[in-house]
Chain A
Amino acid sequence: MLRRFPRIQVALLATGLLAALPIAAHHSFAIFNRDVQVTLTGTVKEFQWTNPHVFIQLVVKNAEGVDEEWSIEGASPNMLFRSGWTNQSFKPGDKVTLVVNPLRDGTHGANFVFAELPDGKTLGQLNSRAPG
């Protein structure tokens, strides 16, 4: 399931730009459209707990019901570890909803903003409490 809506509608939910600023140490975020947030619901295929960025490989059904694999980029493991994440924060098979900033080029990649977990909790990058 994929929903797309302007940032303003989810501004109350997401810490957005401010939360991501300290993360921008390694590379420019110009490749992502920070004005748009997309909600992806799918199944985790792989969680790469690696430097310089973690990646969640998420399989999402598109509008035609066909599986598509998305690559969702997060911060670095050291930063996330200090925010309460571990290499077990996402596991293959997990059903999750991720709110992301999509790539500007329209391919299936994005920058992680926050996750809605199966237990109803949300997971941000700078702290593990609900963002915002």
Chain B
Amino acid sequence: MNLRAVLILLASVLAAQSSASAAESPALPRSGMNGIWSGEQGVLWDTSVKPGQKPRAPFTREYAAIYQEALDASARGQPKADPPASCLPPGVPRIMASPFPFEIVQTPEITYILYEYMSQIRRVHMNGPAPTALGLPTFNGRSSGRWDGSTLVIETTDMNPISVLDTTHLPTSDALKVTERLRLLSANQLEVTITLTDPKVYSEPWTVVRTYKRKQGEQILEYVCEENNRNPVQSDGSTGFVGAP
């Protein structure tokens, strides 16, 4: 056997192995996604960088400048107003980087994702596009879902462009489309591959992978942000602090 034949054989063996590992496991039914999950990465959007490092966003020239402006403002101690600091919802996709758990509940028509953070609810319409009757855009946009084998694919559009991806103020635009691919890595670990497609903000789609651990016996707690927000956003966009009366 010559070298070329050995390489072809090796490549075919590796390909067979990788398709085998990607094969669906009958032990993990779709209903296995139901339950309470908690993120295993931090609240910064780019899971591949350490705090303080710049995210590897494939920004267009225009949005690279917009993001740099936000970083510079923060370095001056005057960070741009972060919507959740005013108790506005984080929106899709930032809600997937919440430090608090969420619960997945599947029905034939709608998959519900119930988040502890800001008491948010996402409704993923499983039988066609989500309705538009409420008016758009909205913080969580409109989501439709479909199954690709045992992977739940959620596509979301029409998000409010005031949302940013994290406290470093990674921007979004009205052209953002979010594709989430949810699959069980095991009965107790969920992987969500999140791809942001936004030709205004990114020169190419930007994908991050987040994982979530099942929280057996956990309960979703109440989180009403408006209860006692003593860090209101100031007129200059900075974070305030309400001291003793």
Interfacial residues, chain A to chain B (CB-CB below 8 A): 17, 21-28, 30-31, 48, 50-53, 55, 57, 69-71, 73, 76-79, 81, 103-105, 107-109
Q: Is the CB of A22 within 8 A of B99?
A: yes
Write 8 A-B pairs (CB below 8 A) sorted by A numbering.
A27-B85, A28-B74, A28-B79, A51-B223, A53-B228, A71-B241, A71-B242, A78-B221
Contacts of A23 in B (CB 8 A): 99
Q: Is the CB of A57 within 8 A of B244?
A: yes
Question: Which residues of B (208-244) have their CB < 8 Å from a CB of A?
Answer: 221-225, 227-231, 238-244
Q: Is the CB of A26 within 8 A of B241?
A: no
A23 to B239 alpha-carbon distance, docked (Å): 15
Q: Flag whether B87 is at the interface (Cβ < 8 A).
A: yes
Contacts of B229 in A (CB 8 A): 52
Nearest B residue to A23 via CB reads B99
Given A22-B43, A104-B77, A30:B230 Cβ within 8 A? no
Q: Is the CB of B223 within 8 A of A31?
A: no
Q: Flag whether B167 is at the interface (Cβ < 8 A).
A: yes
Q: Is the CB of A27 within 8 A of B227?
A: no
How many pairs, one residue from A and one from B, have CB atoms within 8 Å of each other in the complex? 95
In the assembled complex, the CB of A89 is this many whole angstroms from the nearest CB of chain B, namely 16
Contacts of A24 in B (CB 8 A): 43, 167
Q: A51's contact among B42, B82, B224, by CB below 8 Å, is which?
A: B224
A107 to B240 alpha-carbon distance, docked (Å): 12
A31 to B76 alpha-carbon distance, docked (Å): 11
Q: Is the CB of B223 within 8 A of A21?
A: no
A22 to B44 alpha-carbon distance, docked (Å): 9
Q: Flag whether B117 is at the interface (Cβ < 8 A).
A: yes
Contacts of A30 in B (CB 8 A): 74, 77, 79, 238-239
Q: B225's contact among A17, A51, A55, A104, by CB below 8 Å, is which?
A: A51
Q: Is the CB of B228 within 8 A of A26?
A: no
Given A22-B99, A27-B167, A27-B231, A78:B223 Cβ within 8 A? yes
Given A24-B43, A26-B231, A107:B239 Cβ within 8 A? no
Q: Flag whether B51 is at the interface (Cβ < 8 A).
A: yes
A109 to B98 alpha-carbon distance, docked (Å): 26
A28 to B168 alpha-carbon distance, docked (Å): 8
Q: Is the CB of A31 within 8 A of B227?
A: no
Contacts of B223 in A (CB 8 A): 51-52, 76, 78
Q: Is the CB of A26 within 8 A of B227?
A: no
Q: A25's contact among B98, B224, B241, B244, by CB below 8 Å, is which?
A: B98
Contacts of A105 in B (CB 8 A): 241
Given A22-B42, A71-B244, A52:B167 Cβ within 8 A? no
Contacts of B243 in A (CB 8 A): 71, 107-109
In the assembled complex, the CB of A18 is this many whole angstroms from the nearest CB of chain B, namely 9
A26 to B225 alpha-carbon distance, docked (Å): 9
Contacts of B117 in A (CB 8 A): 25
Question: Which residues of B (85-101) have their CB < 8 Å from a CB of A?
Answer: 85, 87, 98-100
Q: A52's contact among B87, B238, B241, by CB below 8 Å, is which?
A: B87
Q: Flag whether B116 is at the interface (Cβ < 8 A).
A: yes
In the assembled complex, the CB of B93 is this many whole angstroms from the nearest CB of chain A, namely 14
Q: Is the CB of B84 within 8 A of A27?
A: yes
A57 to B245 alpha-carbon distance, docked (Å): 10
Most buried by A among B87, B222, B228: B228
Q: Is the CB of A28 within 8 A of B116?
A: no
